[in-house]
């Protein structure tokens, strides 16, 4: 029985299948699901704020090597506590000795990438919805390699 890291079977399998440049999205409860078969959708929510967005990010990053993140501008403005928690988590992670690259984009661009990126053959592989009820608690993790 697995006792550490990502315990959700679907999410653990999806992370194991990620390759360099693939995108894994983690969102709040209100974000719509992509409506096509190119992005695997996993709902890990069990109740209001369970699990929390930042807790989900933290556990996923125990197993996923990343090189870059995309965050909506609105996250910084509307949910500064969430943004600060993300910054703290990301500050402790390196990719091949380098800091993780952070790209801030408008929410409309973020949402379009998540919902339609798979259709456009962009590497949006996995979508994870949490039980978070904080607006703009969303991030795209871009997979890296450790060699």
Residue 121: is it exposed, middle or buried by C-beta count within 10 angstroms (0-12/13-18/19+)? exposed
Residue 94 pairs with which residues in a beta bridge?
Answer: 99
The closest of 7, 11, 41, 14 to 114, measured between CA atoms, is: 41
Contact assessment for residue 44 and residue 129, using Cβ atoms and an 8 Å cutoff = yes
Options 17, 20, 36, 81, the catalytic residue: 20
Contact assessment for residue 30 and residue 135, using Cβ atoms and an 8 Å cutoff = yes
Handedness of CA 39, 114, 143, 119 (dihedral sign): positive
Residue 69 pairs with which residues in a beta bridge?
Answer: 102, 141
Question: Does the annotation count 20 as an active-site position?
Answer: yes
Q: Which two tokens stand for residue 140?
A: 């795209």
Residues forming the active site: 20
């Amino acid at each position: 029985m697995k006792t550490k890291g990502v315990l959700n079977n679907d999410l653990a399998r999806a992370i194991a299948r990620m390759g360099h440049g693939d995108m894994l999205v983690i969102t709040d409860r209100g974000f719509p699901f992509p409506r096509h078969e190119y992005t695997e959708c996993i709902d890990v929510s069990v109740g209001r704020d369970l699990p929390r967005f930042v807790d989900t990010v933290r556990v996923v990053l125990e197993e996923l090597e990343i090189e870059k993140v995309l965050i909506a501008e609105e996250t910084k403005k509307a949910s500064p506590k969430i943004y600060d928690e993300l910054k703290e988590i990301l500050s402790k992670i390196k990719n091949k000795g380098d800091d993780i690259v952070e790209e801030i984009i408008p929410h409309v661009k973020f949402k379009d990438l998540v919902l339609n990126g798979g259709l456009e053959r962009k590497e949006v592989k996995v979508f994870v919805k949490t039980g978070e009820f904080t607006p703009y608690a969303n991030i795209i993790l871009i997979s890296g390699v450790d060699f």
